[in-house]
Each structure stands twice: as C-alpha cells, then as structure tokens.
Amino acid sequence: MDTKTTEKTATSKTDEVAAGTSAEAAEAAGTTQDAGTTQDAGTTQDAGTAAEAGTVEDTAAELLDAPDDELDGGLDGELDGEEALSPEATGIGAAAAAVVSAALSAVALTGTWTGKVVAERETLIGQIKTSAGGTPAQQINEIYGDAWHSTALVNGVFALLAVIVGVLVLTLPRRPLWVRAVAVAGAVLGGLGLLLSVGTYFDLFLSLPTTGS
C-alpha cells in the first residue's frame, strides 16, 4: 500500500516538474519572439530613415547637377521682377505727370472751352439782369466784368493745378533729367498763368471801362 502511495507521489512530482519546465520553455519562447519583433521594428525604422536620407541626397545631387542655364534663368527672372519694382521702372507715372503739368499750364495761358462757356453764361445772366433797366455802369459790370472775371477764375484754377503737379514731380527723387525739365517748365508756366489770372480777376492789368471815357 505504501509502495503505491509513494509511486503516485513520485509521479505527481514528476508531472509538476514537467509542467513547470514546459511553462518556463513557453515563457522563454515568448520572450524570444518579442525580442525578434522589436528587432524587426527597429530594422524597419532604420530602413525608413535610410530611405529618407537617400531621398534628400538624391535631391541635393539633382540640384548640384542642374544646368547652369536653368539656374541663370531663374536668377534673371528674379532680377527682372526686382527691376520692375525699382524706382527707375516706375518713372512712367512721373513722366506723365510732368507732361500733364506742362499741358495744364499751356491751357491756363491760352484759355479753355470751360472758361468760354462760363463767360458766356455770365454775359447772358448780365443781360437778363439789366434788360429791365439799368445804368451803363451796371450793364458794363454785369455783362462784361463778370464774364472776364469768370474766365480769369477758370484759367487760374488750371494754372494752380499745373503748379501743384509740377512741384510734386520735382520732389520725387531719382527722376530722369528730361522729366525734371518738363516739370520745371510746367511749374514756371503755371505760375505765370496764375499770376495773369489773379491780375485779371482783380483788374490789376486792365480795368473795366467807365461811362465817362
């Protein structure tokens, strides 16, 4: 009886030892598998990093191997864009303003269609006012004086504009010589036209005729 019990006990211990050994072996196999997985992941990451590095190197090599004509063309395009925004390239506006100043001064000296229309309007108004009766002095003042003064006022406005535009062009830096010359001519002639307009408006050069003359 004791012999059978002893054999059963030994068999149980043997089974326990075998089971423990199997568990340890399974655990060792799992650890080995995890290590392999980690190693594979590291290898994959290293491969991706190497591929990115290779791509950067290829791009740098392409830039270095690019023809000089292409690089020069891109540089020339950038320089052209900068020149288009430079003050010398934007001198068209200043040149146009100088020409406008000269034209306005010429108009102020020779008279305008607007001034003629305003003068005729003042003449008509004067005739209407004095049609019912008026002294000769009133007729001269209403029919002729107001018309002359209106013409001088319109011409003076054009002359003032010519002076302002010419002076503004002269204040701009780095303008071509001919632009500055035209602007000076416009400002000077505009000033002369303004002087004549002021003198005519206030009857400084020619006074209105009187009935006694």
Determine contact, residues 169/108, Cβ cutoff 8 Å.
no
Q: Give the separation between CA 187 and CA 107, rounded to whole angstroms.
A: 13
Mean of pLDDT over the chain:
73
First to last CA, the chain: 173
Q: Percent of the chain having pLDDT more than 70?
A: 57
Say if residue 130 is exposed, middle or buried (CB neighbours under 10 Å; 0-12, 13-18, 19+): middle
- Span 95-105, pLDDT tens digits: 999 999 999 99
Could you tell me the two tokens for 88?
A: 């010398």
pLDDT digits (tens, 9 = 90+) for 24-65: 444 544 443 443 443 443 444 444 444 454 554 565 555 555
Rounded distance between C-alpha atoms, residue 123 and residue 148, angstroms: 9
